[in-house]
Amino acid sequence: MIRPPFPTCFLQWGIPMRERTSGRTVGGFRNVFLQGPAVTLLLLWMLVPLGMTLWFSFQRYNLINPMISGFAGWDNYTYLLTDPALWTAMGNTLLLVGWVLAISVIGGTLLAVLFQQEFFGRGIARLLVIAPFFVMPTVGALVWKNMLMHPVNGVFAWLSDLLGLPVIDWFSSMPLTSIIIIVAWQWMPFALLILLTAIQSLDDDQVEAARMDGAGPLAIFWFITLPHLKRAISVVIMIEMIFLLTIFAEIFVTTSGGPGLASTNLAYFIYIRALLDFDVGGASAGGVIAIILANIVAIFLIRTVAKNLET
């Protein structure tokens, strides 16, 4: 019914003998038959919920009041789009996605370079730094909430107490920032994992040639390593983006979207509509808007990524 915004443009049919801009030919007619079953299944899997969401979004459908029913026209949408809460939620979503992406990609890249170096205990260190990714989002968020960011018995409170600084009540004074920190902590290991494997495929000869050309560590990072990682970084951005647009558990267990709407993102907003207000029609409309938003982002993203992948 309410489905996460998954970019539909991931689907691709095998078209007989296409030609890339570079002049290389790809694919063949046979693709259709080989990919057919999988693609059909995927289509059904996606289209049925999508169709239902679309259908409900044009219905008057409230779980509390079964008397309200029938075709609603664009009412659900106009009601939503004129609701300032939607725009707040959208802004929060973009802030959340943008910041987490920035932190995890930049941090992941730097960590990848660091963990590529030889040092004692590297294997253990790698394992530890990747561990947050395997912690369930709810558990991770609860640990942050109760053990780290708690204003009374959290580690941060204890630290600032130790240093004589005022104690910060993270979730009430900077709710969105706190959630960004938690989500970035979860996703940085993912970026690190992908980028570390990418960095390991960098040709040693290239680095040595650059050294002979007079490049220091910084120049090697900037001119050799970073361009080499470009592809992997675009893949990380793409995958993280898809998951970050639908962040829910972290918000649910920490701030519950509050105070007010300060940490409500689109997914959480839809949840408020559907399950707190019992307004299925309105929530479905929100879902459709989320799908559209995700697709707009994905189209831009996939374009740039595809361009990166080709060269």
Which residues sit at the interface with other proteins, rule CB under 8 A?
A: 203, 205-206, 208-215, 219, 223-224, 227-228, 230, 311
Give the C-alpha distances (Å, rounded to integers) separating 111 from 99, 220, 297.
17, 16, 27
Are 13 and 29 contacting, i.e. CB atoms less than 8 angstroms apart? no
* Least separation in angstroms between CB 156 and other proteins: 42
Cβ-based nearer residue to other proteins, 256 or 308: 308
Task: Output the smallest distance, CB 234 to other proteins, in A.
Answer: 13
> What is the Cα–Cα distance from 154 to 169, expressed in whole angstroms?
10
Between 153 and 204, name the residue whose CB sits nearer to other proteins. 204
**In sequence order, what are the residues at sequence separation of 6 or more whose Cβ sits closer than 8 angstroms to the Cβ of residue 62?**
68, 278, 279, 280, 281
- CB 125: neighbour CB atoms within 10 A? 13
**Cβ contact 7:246 at 8 Å:** no
**Which CB sits closer to other proteins, 224 or 242?**
224
Residue 19 CB, shortest distance to other proteins, in Å, is: 16
d(CA 266, CA 167): 31
| 173/59 Cα distance (integer angstroms) | 39
Please, what is the minimum distance in Å from the beta carbon of residue 202 to other proteins? 10
CB 224 within 8 A of CB 113: no
Q: Are strands 25-26 and 18-19 parallel, antiparallel or unpaired?
A: antiparallel
Nearest distance, CB of residue 225 and other proteins, angstroms: 11
- Our CB check for other proteins shows the closer of 46 and 210 to be 210
SS3 of 1, please? Answer: coil
Structural contact between residues 181 and 139, judged by C-beta atoms closer than 8 angstroms: no
**Nearest CB to other proteins, comparing residues 126 and 211:** 211
Q: What ranges make up the beta strands (E) of the chain?
A: 18-19, 25-26
Our CB check for other proteins shows the closer of 161 and 203 to be 203
Nearest distance in Å: CB 123, other proteins:
19
CB of 216 to other proteins, least distance (A): 8
Nearer to other proteins, 210 or 302 (CB): 210
